[in-house]
Amino acid sequence: MALLAARDIIPFPAGANSSDTLISGVHLNKTTLEFWNYTLFTNNTISNTSWCILAFPPYTPATILNNGTWINETWCYRPIYPIGTRGGVGIGFAVLYAIGLALTLVVLHKHGKLHLPAEKRFYPIGRRWQWYWALFSCAAAIISLFTSIDVDRYFLPELPIILTSFFWYLMQMGAMALVWEAARHWGSWMERQFIDPEPFVLSQNDRRAKLEFFVPLVFYLWLWLNFFLIVPRNWGKIEHQRYPEQTILDAIPAATDGRFKAAAFCLVVCWLITFFYLRHSIKHYCPRSQGFLNRTVGLIRFIPWRFYFLLLISAAIPTYQALVAWEFAWSPLNVQGLKAAIFAGGYTPTLLIVYVQIVYGFITPNEDVELKRQRRVRGADIDAQLGIAPKPAWWWRVRHAGEGGGSNENMRDRIARNVREVQGGKPKPPAFEDVPTMRNEPPPPAIDNVEMGSLPPRQLSQQATDLLAPVAPQDFGSARAMADRYQGLGERTRAMQHAAGLLFPNSPQDAAAAARRREELMMDGPPPYSEAVGGRPNGLGREISGTSTTGSINSPPQQIRSMLDV
């Protein structure tokens, strides 16, 4: 320290008398300066280890009072210089990081949004961690770069060099975690696609599952070791770069100690774990190859394109951190460090990693959307193999939307529903007292070969006759004629209406035929419902009693006339 004092401390210049000194053209009381233990240094500063005053124009103080108070002084730790190279380039990098942060928010909204129900095996936050770390890295880089502006502007180094170095190390940690989460989630996405067609194809208790549980814990163990080796320390010695001797004695040993070297080694281990996990995902979720050479070729072939960039760029992060732990001249902790090395090796790799992730996020779809597309393609392939044709839109409406009667609807109800659709509403059921009257009507003459033969015009209902009646060409110009002609019905619906007219005739002339047909259908079975009991007629011309079955035993067998009789 004696050598240091002899080289950096200089005596006060002579003044007007023995109690006066002339510093930069200003007369100061030498006795007061010596009383308050002030000394003059070769860098034109006056200091007593508590106060440091600039002593060169135009910052020379006006005077000093007897109580040690300075008049019109300038503190040594003030930004008095213009923005230098480090600050100017830092502003440009900060703008690029700010744009990357905004774009990362957009990509996070795209890929973090859920389009399928959340699964316990694949938590939604798992896909978002890589974007969270990207935001963290951009924020740390912006703070580090903006605080680096004052590194060149301060006359003596102080808080800015500590802030820019502190957040620079945090940015490096965030970049390594970003690459790791990208690789880990890619393996999780491959597993999700692998088990989606068959959920139980992979066991959750095998060696693969245990490795995927413990490897992330090991990675973050080494990452936090890097954090605890760097952050909790005495950063004050990094400021001691006010003159060359102080830099050699304090700053360089503090910036290149064993903790910084060990922290760089921790990042190397993190990079190796990331590469190992990427290989693990390719081994278990991609087609396998036999032989060492084939496996090596398969590893290179199945690595996604972005990981070629991420792995190569991220390898520069621990490399540069180890380099500055041995070589202080290239370190961001050095106030006069090499600017090209600081920005090329310190800030550029993280910036490239963030933008590679942004490009990947914009050109790839959301995972839930992609999984739904794969399910549709897989379902179409299975239907094609089984010969299943896709159902029309009306089938889904009738089957699922409640427009039909459901799967328990019998044929009679379906035909009745079709009749309601044809007639435009639900027909009113006959009154209870009208049923015997309908059954007592005389039957019409029988019609042979109903299904295969041609039907006489008198058997068609009035509505069906109106539908099948030809319309003159000139009537198509009228909206009313078109409505009477078509009534919103297709050929299939009109065929259903025609069949319904045969099964459920509504015209008076067809009532007798319906009664006779009902009598034929009921001959081989229990008698129809009637109020007649105790020997009274039941509406079909025969007497019945509550326990008589002679009608069904002695009657001739039923004659099947059509498929509707079965």
More confident residue, 22 or 293: 22
Residues 100/106/111/116 CA torsion (nearest 10 deg): 170
Cα 491 to its chain centre, rounded Å, is 49
Strand ranges across the sheet with 39-41:
9-10, 39-41, 45-47, 52-54
> What's the rounded Cα separation, in Å, for the pair 180 and 186?
10
Q: pLDDT for 30-48, tens place per residue?
A: 888 888 888 888 888 888 8
**Helix or strand or coil: residue 82?**
coil
Look up the CATH number of domain 87-364.
1.20.1070
Q: Which helix (H) or strand (E) holds 97?
A: helix 85-112
pLDDT confidence of residue 439: 46
> What's the rounded Cα separation, in Å, for the pair 73 and 60?
7
Among the listed residues 39, 66, 32, the one whose alpha carbon sits nearest the alpha carbon of residue 53: 39
Residue type, 339: K
Beta pairing partners, 23: 26
- For the chain, the C-alpha Rg in angstroms (whole number) is 47
- Model confidence at 428: pLDDT above 70: no
Q: pLDDT for 133-191, tens place per residue?
A: 999 999 999 999 999 999 989 888 889 999 999 999 999 999 999 999 999 999 999 99
pLDDT confidence of residue 244: 84
Q: Tokens representing 461? A: 């209902």
> What's the rounded Cα separation, in Å, for the pair 381 and 388?
10
- Model confidence at 373: pLDDT above 90: yes
* % of the chain surpassing 90 pLDDT: 35
Rounded (5°) CA angle 187-193-199:
110
pLDDT confidence of residue 502: 63
Average pLDDT over residues 536-543: 44
Label residue 132 by pLDDT band (50, 70, 90): very high
Average pLDDT over residues 406-414: 67
More confident residue, 477 or 43: 43
Cβ contacts of 155 within 8 Å, gap of 6 or more = 54, 76, 77, 78, 80, 81
Beta pairing partners, 64: 70
> 68-72, 309-313, 336-340, 375-379 — which one is most confidently predicted on average?
309-313
When the pLDDT of each residue in the chain is averaged and rounded to a whole number, the result is: 78
Label residue 61 by pLDDT band (50, 70, 90): confident
pLDDT confidence of residue 424: 60
**Cβ atoms within 10 Å, residue 133:** 24
Average pLDDT over residues 534-560: 49
Q: Which helix (H) or strand (E) holds 54?
A: strand 52-54
pLDDT confidence of residue 400: 55
Label residue 111 by pLDDT band (50, 70, 90): very high
pLDDT confidence of residue 474: 45
- Model confidence at 297: pLDDT above 70: yes
Beta pairing partners, 393: none
Phi, psi of 45 (to 5 degrees): -125, 150
**Helix or strand or coil: residue 23?**
strand
- Model confidence at 552: pLDDT above 90: no
Label residue 526 by pLDDT band (50, 70, 90): low
Average pLDDT over residues 414-443: 57
Lowest mean pLDDT among 154-168, 272-286, 364-378, 521-535: 521-535
More confident residue, 123 or 356: 356
> What's the rounded Cα separation, in Å, for the pair 559 and 183?
78
Residue boundaries of the structural domains of the chain? 2-71, 87-364, 411-565
Beta pairing partners, 154: 79
